[in-house]
Amino acid sequence: MKTGEDARGEGSTGPQKLGLCVLCGLPAAGKSTFARALSHRLQQERGWAVCVVAYDDVMPDAFLREASARPLPSQWKLLRQELLKYLEYFLMAVINGCQMSAPPDRTEAMWEDFITCLKDQNLISSAACEAQSCYLLTKTAVSGPLFLILDDNFYYQSMRYEVYQLARKYSLGFCQVFLDCSLETCLQRNGQRPQALPAETIHLMGRKIEKPNPEKNAWEHNSLTIQSPACSPEASLKLTDLLLTALENPVKCVEDNVEQKETDRITCSTNILHQADQTLRRIVSQTMKEAKGTLGTYRLGSRPDSAASPVPWTLGWVLSFQS
């Protein structure tokens, strides 16, 4: 694996480097402020194009305008998946160097907010082809490294894994940044917001949140925890190295799925045991039949030569296998 140090030279040629960064943490942990500061720093110091996609800016308003109610958890899941589909359409346009088309099935208000998000960050341009639901990419979007920072709670590991799957599908860099902030601080900040969340929502999320766990999940190895609100110079350096390492080591499309391999291994082991059990049953059944036949011969007074009888050898083999 190439490290961030190997990626210091930005003059290398080759395919455009693309990365996805999942920024996760409790509500009011400071994620949006952190994302804006990170975006500015990467553009100024690295010359990268950066796209911050704040889920709160794209999904809730869109849903409220169309449904006039907060979505249920199952609806939130569908909205999250729909937003990932929008991101995929944008990524396909960047990778293929073509116009970005609109998905045929979309929530119109949510799509408009997503388009506004890209325009505000100078990644697509306003053009006449918008009438045909296609959008031109700007030079900024295709001229150098591009990092997409996804700003949301992502409190379940499964939510982050969906982003990882997208990175794997297109061989993109992938990393995670967990903004660690105390529950008390989050509640205090939330209370100062114009549209505050219910305190119970933050308490509940604090109990349910699944922090990145590289030791348990191999796909989360490129993760970093940063304390909020303070971000030390050392943490800043680690963050830069995390992003550089992700860009230089994109997830491979054919990367082995460790979880699936483990499932397959267990299934295979179960099948082998099942086959062995069936074989033993057949052997025991055949042995009992032969033993019954031999006993019948004994009763008729025709005792066979014990050395020629297969019964002792077969039973001995079965007993040794079972032990």
pLDDT tens readout for residues 127-172: 656 566 889 999 999 989 999 999 999 999 999 999 999 999 999 9
- Stated pTM of the model: 0.73
At 41 the pLDDT is 93
Backbone CA torsion sign across 2, 7, 9, 12: positive
pLDDT bracket for residue 8 (50, 70, 90): very low
Average pLDDT, whole number, for the chain? 82
> b/e for 263-292, b at 16 or more Cβ within 10 A?
eeeeeeeeeeeeeeeeeeeeeeeebeeebe
Assess contact for 175 and 21: CB atoms under 8 A: yes
Give the pairing of strands 146-151 and 18-24.
parallel
**Is residue 319 predicted with pLDDT exceeding 80?**
no
DSSP string covering 218-268, please?
GGG-SEEEEESS---HHHHHHHHHHHHHHHHSPPPTT---HHHHHHHHHHH
- Taking the CA atoms of residue 214, residue 220, residue 221 and residue 224 in that order, the dihedral angle to the nearest 10 degrees is -90
**Is residue 67 predicted with pLDDT exceeding 50?**
no
Residues of the chain with pLDDT > 90, as a percent, come to: 57
| Distance in Å from the first CA to the final CA of the chain | 46
Q: Please tell me the distance from the alpha carbon of residue 188 to that of residue 232, in angstroms, as a whole number.
A: 22
pLDDT tens readout for residues 233-252: 778 889 999 999 999 999 99
DSSP string covering 93-136, please?
HHHHTSPEEPPSS--HHHHHHHHHHHHHTTSEE--GGGGGTEEE
Give the least confident one: 101-115, 246-260, 267-281, 295-309. Answer: 295-309
Q: Please tell me the distance from the alpha carbon of residue 80 to that of residue 321, in angstroms, as a whole number.
A: 54
Find residue 223's DSSP bridge partners: 176
Q: Please tell me the distance from the alpha carbon of residue 68 to that of residue 83, in angstroms, as a whole number.
A: 19
**138's torsion region: left (phi>0), alpha (psi -120 to 50) or beta?**
beta
Sheet holding 124-125, edge to edge: 100-101, 134-137, 124-125
How large is the average pLDDT for residues 13-26?
90
pLDDT tens readout for residues 184-205: 999 999 999 998 999 999 999 9
pLDDT tens readout for residues 94-132: 999 999 999 998 999 999 999 999 999 999 987 656 566
Between vectors from CA 292 to CA 290 and to CA 294, what angle results, nearest 5°? Answer: 70
